[in-house]
Amino acid sequence: MKNSTQGITKDIVLIGGGHTHALLIKRLGMNPIASTRVTLISEQTLTPYSGMLPGFVAGHYSYLDTHIDLNRLCQWSNVRYIRGTAIGLDVNTQQVLIDSQPPISFDQLSIDVGSTPDLSIPGARDYAVGVKPVSQFGSIWSKLLESSIDATGDWGVVGAGAGGVELVLAMAHRLREKQGLQFHLVASGARVLPGYPEKVIRKVETALAKHSITVHSNFRVSSVNEKGLVSNAGKKIPLDKSIWCTGAAAPKWFASTGLGLSERGFIGVNEFLQSVSHANVFAVGDCSDMLSDPRPKAGVYAVRQAPFLEKNLRAVCSGGSLQPVKLQSDFLSLLSLGDRSAVGCKAGWTAAGKWVWKLKDSIDTTFMRKLNDPGDKKAMVNTVGGSEMPMHCAGCGSKLGPDLIAGNLSDLPIFKREGVTPALSQAEDASLWQVASGKLAVQSIDGFRSFSDDLGRFGRICVNHALSDLYAMGATPVSAQVWINLAHAHPRIQKRDHRLLMAAIATALEEQQVTLAGGHSSEGTETHVALVANGEIDQNSIWRKNNVQPGDTLVLTKPLGTGLILAADMQAKAPAVAIDAAFQSMLQSNASAASALAQLKPSSVTDVTGFGLLGHLLEMLSGSGCTASISTAAIPLLSGTEDLSRLGFQSTLYPHLQVYLNQCQVQDGVDQHLLDILLDPQTSGGLLIAIDNTQVDQLLTQCPAAAVIGDVLHAEMDNKADTKIIEITV
């Protein structure tokens, strides 16, 4: 489905990457729903598997071992992935509201965002650390570990259910060598693990004693302060850290959605996992309460909801019958005991020891492997669409209908620049632009086919990429016109995509004080976007591309790697850390770097895009009579870039750029994979600057992410055609 919505007539949107949704996405990747696009909205690319959280805290697993890579899973399953934070719903217009992004429309919606910590007890918000949402506990634990380096005193876990017991044992095991730390477990009842078999409770109590953990029974916390906990009976427990592992609370934004909620504020659902108030909304996992059959907030139930959610989403899309959820009340419960041992029980059976931990480890790692390494994407059958589509015209017959785009343009945020008359609202054939006196007009065009189904982020990147040519000349962007070619789809789907894409483009232009002056829209087999960027510049202030001077220092403002990361992503092989780094870089405009550079006097500037670093550096050196020396060790790389290069990933443009190496002299010892990265085509890459070395420190102060990568040298060469003009060193 990537870059094509051929045959799509319906939108299913999933909010949150919880266990149920992760399994659903895998199942839909194996058997898609005909004529239906599925979209996942998640604020994090890596989402934790709660079953392995104690093992992560104890140090048995790494961060990546315990987290599901949602982007990779979505790529494999042909699910559109949008990284963003849902902050509300408009159930009337059927839209998901996303923080700092355009809304996403849906026909069917499913919510799996987990829960938040219940910090309603006085002082808890100020002095306690919540374990939930689990998606944020990785960073919380990292901070706790850092604070433990020189720590002494008392740390306590409040809540003696399964989660609290596993957590305090894991913490005590991980920090067992910290002689000055004492751990506490606070239980509201007489003993730990209420509802568990006596044999399990005794095994856990033995483990707590082994780890020297003090258990405080019958202690109902009434308030928290900087010194510790106070009970409703007036008793006190002095604590330096209070980790809250008690009852869950619903996300606050649920209250304004208009959905029917349970008494506790969670989304109320029926036996089909449907909202009790809106039949086109489903909710699963900890964020929902099944009113007809209440269950504890436990990951095992979330996992078992996935097949029922899949069947019922298929049913509502096809008009079939819904299937009621049937969850068994008894299940295998395996609790980690800190070290590599565990206790388990089911239906009266109880066991403990190292082999039980190995059983739990096997179950958990198999579950993660199923999601993080689903198989070779090439073996999948592309079943997108699943239905015949009518013939689509070419030429002007491929334009999007006026009724489709009209309503999308009226609400766009348009920056009003003096001297520019947009054609959007005037129904003119072209926009008007009055160039300021004494300045030259500058114009550039750039664009490409979509590399992401997240059209909001893609639109912003297109703007940054197109305006970069103007920033590289020292020009001030004034206006832009946009051409959008949307993939064939039902008009209702195209209207949604057009609105989303145009809103993102308009917002990115507004942020850079550029007027959206007009544009054109059409449809085709794939989604493409291109922008014509117009700007102004004082004729005496133009930064020329090939005006380098001997003695100049070469500075690069962004790291390299977007080309091969996107290539790996197309095969569902790019790790989350690489994808996040690539998008963070591409979403960064070169406006701030150009602004900092405007206060200096660079010799030469260009932006690093399709020809890679080497290609654009050769352009700068062309005709200058200079050579250059660059160090591979000094060149900044995006996270994951070098690893992916070693795995053989590269852009399809890479073979055509290898000719640039004929003009390079490569020092012995330069890693071939680093050499390959120098030819990696960049999308929305940084600026490559040649500047007098007396100005470098000032530039780096104003552009902290920039890096010195080499120098411009006097040419020591004759006019032979095979002269090497770039020296590449280790």
List, by residue number, the catalytic residues.
396
- Show the tokens assigned to 383: 């079943």
Identity of the amino acid at 547: N
**Residue 298 zone, left/alpha/beta (φ > 0; ψ -120 to 50; rest):** beta
Residue 163 makes CB contacts below 8 A (sequence gap 6+) with 131, 245
Radius of gyration of the chain, Cα coordinates, nearest whole angstrom: 29
- Dist CA 493 CA 10 (whole Å): 7
Residue 99 makes CB contacts below 8 A (sequence gap 6+) with 84, 85, 86, 87
- Show the tokens assigned to 656: 């055509």
Q: How far is CA 550 from its chain centroid? A: 42
Q: Where are the beta strands (DSSP E) in 232-366?
A: 236-238, 241-244, 248-249, 267-269, 281-283, 288-290, 333-337, 339-346, 349-353
CB 249 within 8 A of CB 76: no
Of 459, 115, 432, 94, which Cα lies nearest the Cα of 285?
Answer: 115
Helix (H, G, I), strand (E, B) or coil at 241: strand
To the nearest 10 degrees (0 to 180), the angle between helices 562-570 and 70-77 is 50
Q: Up-side HSE of residue 727: CA atoms within 13 Å toward CB?
A: 15
- Show the tokens assigned to 669: 């010892």
| Sheet-wide strand order for 228-231 | 221-225, 228-231, 236-238
To the nearest 10 degrees (0 to 180), the angle between helices 70-77 and 19-30 is 30
Angle, CA 377 vertex, CA 373 and CA 379 arms, to 5°: 120
- Dist CA 592 CA 512 (whole Å): 10
Of 280, 489, 285, 476, which Cα lies nearest the Cα of 404?
Answer: 489
Q: DSSP assignment, residue 32? A: P
Q: DSSP assignment, residue 632? A: G
